[in-house]
Amino acid sequence: MPLNARKVGVIGAGGAPILINHDLAASPWIARPDWAQREAILSFAGQPLTFKGETFGVLAVFSRAQIHPEEFGWLRIFADHAAIAIANARAFEEINQLRRRLEIEREYLREEVRDALAFGEIVGRSTALRSVLEQIEMVAPTTATVLILGESGTGKELVASAIHARSPRRERPLVRVNCGSVPSELFESEFFGHAKGSFTGAVRDRVGRFQHADGGTLFLDEVGEIPIAHQAKLLRVLQEGQFERVGEDVTRKVDVRILAATNRDLRQEVAAGRFRHDLYYRLSVFPMELPPLRQRKEDIPELATHFSSQSCGRLNKPEIRLTDEDIEVLKDYDWPGNIRELENVIERAIILATGGRMRLDLALAHTESAAPKAGAANNPGDEVQSPPKIMRSDDLVRLERDNIIAALEHARWKIGGPGGAAELLGMNSSTLASRMRSLGVKRSREG
């Protein structure tokens, strides 16, 4: 029915009710007077179906009896209920349409998330990082040994996890071993296992890391820390896939893919005689160099947001948003400890937060490995520099030992975790433990 046409059209257009209680057949409102006469229609009542100022339609009644004002009022109440029902039905239909649309969008976003999270917790979109991810895509499906190179804190373990997760061995275990934390006297037992009674303290048979990783992947972190006396044994397993447990004559075979990582320059270690050249070539079938954070600063906002969200959840703190000023402060820093240092700084800043605002100034002030800003201007007179002071190797060792002891005392001899000496020194806790053993650093009983 067109608006403003006849009774229903006029009610629908203006929203005003109409009641005709006599001589309906003779009324100009009636479209079919012969029908009204034949059916003895006497009255007409029409009420608009309106809800919150919107007219959905018209409730019209033709009657052979007179429609009294009270009945006309009841018709208004019924029209109001009908209008509400129509409004609800429309709302439910819109909700259903939105739900169907959200299902489609959610499925699309799932695809996006799957792509975004294809590399686990590797966060960032910089050109340098994309190059690494492309290399992961290429080498993961193969059986090639991968040597992951990069400074401490650049995410070498995450890269190893991503390679394993995208390999045909992903249903089998990824076994991690920190080579720097394995004492020299326990190297063979740790890697190859031992038989009961093979040495003092061997009260039961032990399965080594290679056997644990059979059919899967073995990740040798800090592989440059393996003493050269044990490197030949490792090389044999890599070449032949065979080993013997300590105290056994039985030769066992394993099928293990090797991923190795180091922050050392192994070529220099080979030249210095501290690393076997044949083991180096065996490990570096596919070398991957991870960029330090200072070379991928465009990833800092995304990384900082990721660590902020993680830390707030872990510390049971309300979500804190990084401001543009916070991001600029983070970008101005050189991050000698790389991504691990960024994570620690964000966590400290959240702990120190006041009024919903991160205290990056305090968090960075507690970073003893702080470096000058990138590209900082030289002070006047820098052009004239004094000759560098040459230190003897024993002086360097003593300096390193004193620095480690200072960090340990500052951290109350706590090695790992937030506020530990390893964090203050910008190194892995296992690396620090190894250096402490090498330098003979022990806590005195009085301490």
The CATH number given to whatever domain includes residue 348 is 1.10.8.60
pLDDT of residue 161: 92
Does 320 share its domain with 269? no
Task: Determine how many CB atoms are found less than 10 A away from the CB of residue 118.
Answer: 14
Decide if 146 is inside a domain. yes
CA distance 158 to 154: 9
Is the pLDDT at 270 greater than 90, yes or no?
yes
pLDDT of residue 90: 84
| Cβ-Cβ contacts under 8 Å for 432 (sequence gap 6 or more) | 404, 415, 416, 421, 422, 425
| Cβ-Cβ contacts under 8 Å for 52 (sequence gap 6 or more) | 87
Orientation angle between helical segments 338-351 and 300-314, nearest 10 degrees: 50
Decide if 83 is inside a domain. yes
Does 200 share its domain with 141? yes
| 223: Cα within 13 Å, side-chain hemisphere | 29
Is the pLDDT at 108 greater than 90, yes or no?
no
Mean pLDDT of the chain: 82
What pLDDT band is residue 375 in, cutting at 50, 70 and 90? Answer: very low
pLDDT of residue 342: 93
Q: Which residues pair with 176 in a beta bridge?
A: 219
Given 291, 307, 338, the domain boundary residue is 291
CA distance 44 to 6: 12
Between 132 and 25, name the one with better pLDDT: 132
Between 189 and 6, name the one with better pLDDT: 189
Decide if 281 is inside a domain. yes
Q: Which residues pair with 252 in a beta bridge?
A: 243
Query: Cα-flanking dihedrals φ and ψ of residue 27, to 5°?
Result: -75, 140
CA distance 433 to 395: 21
Split into its structural domains, the chain has a count of 4
pLDDT of residue 278: 93
Does 173 share its domain with 223? yes
What pLDDT band is residue 115 in, cutting at 50, 70 and 90? Answer: very low
Does 165 share its domain with 249? yes
Decide if 108 is inside a domain. no
Of 6-10, 279-283, 288-292, 312-316, which gets the smallest average pLDDT? 6-10
Is the pLDDT at 379 greater than 50, yes or no?
no
Contact 76, 61 (CB under 8 A): no
Decide if 175 is inside a domain. yes
pLDDT of residue 396: 66
Output the pTM of the full model. 0.57
Contact 190, 182 (CB under 8 A): yes
Is the pLDDT at 102 greater than 80, yes or no?
no
Per the structure, the complete domain to which residue 331 belongs is given by 295-365
Does 51 share its domain with 139? no
Given 270, 291, 312, the domain boundary residue is 291
pLDDT of residue 367: 67
What pLDDT band is residue 162 in, cutting at 50, 70 and 90? Answer: very high
Does 274 share its domain with 177? yes
* Single-letter amino acid, residue 232: A
Decide if 376 is inside a domain. no
Of 169-178, 303-312, 357-366, which gets the smallest average pLDDT? 357-366
Q: Indicate which CATH number applies to the domain containing 82.
A: 3.30.450.40
Query: Cα-flanking dihedrals φ and ψ of residue 45, to 5°?
Result: -135, 135
pLDDT of residue 377: 40
Task: Determine how many CB atoms are found less than 10 A away from the CB of residue 111.
Answer: 10
Is the pLDDT at 408 greater than 70, yes or no?
yes
What pLDDT band is residue 56 in, cutting at 50, 70 and 90? Answer: confident
* Single-letter amino acid, residue 140: A
* Residue among 182, 178, 185, 212 at smallest CA distance from 201: 185
Is the pLDDT at 173 greater than 80, yes or no?
yes
| Cβ-Cβ contacts under 8 Å for 45 (sequence gap 6 or more) | 17, 18, 19, 20, 60, 61, 63, 67, 71, 72, 75
CA distance 103 to 338: 40
Chain-centroid distance of CA 427 in Å reads 22
Mean pLDDT of the 233-259 span:
89
Contact 366, 404 (CB under 8 A): no
Question: Which DSSP letter does residue 387 get?
Answer: P
Given 252, 275, 291, the domain boundary residue is 291
Task: Determine how many CB atoms are found less than 10 A away from the CB of residue 144.
Answer: 14
Does 65 share its domain with 192? no
Is the pLDDT at 110 greater than 60, yes or no?
no
Of 10-24, 113-127, 250-264, which gets the smallest average pLDDT? 113-127
How far, in Å, are 93, 104, 142, 427 from residue 96 at the CA level?
5, 12, 47, 55
Decide if 387 is inside a domain. no
Does 69 share its domain with 140? no
What pLDDT band is residue 289 in, cutting at 50, 70 and 90? Answer: very high
How far, in Å, are 222, 402, 428, 437 from residue 441 at the CA level?
21, 9, 16, 6
Is the pLDDT at 386 greater than 70, yes or no?
no
Decide if 103 is inside a domain. no
What pLDDT band is residue 382 in, cutting at 50, 70 and 90? Answer: very low
Chain-centroid distance of CA 339 in Å reads 13
CA distance 255 to 161: 18
pLDDT of residue 105: 57
Does 133 share its domain with 244? yes
Beta strands at 146-149 and 257-262: parallel, antiparallel or unpaired: parallel
Mean pLDDT of the 185-211 span:
82
pLDDT of residue 222: 94
pLDDT of residue 390: 53
Contact 257, 117 (CB under 8 A): no
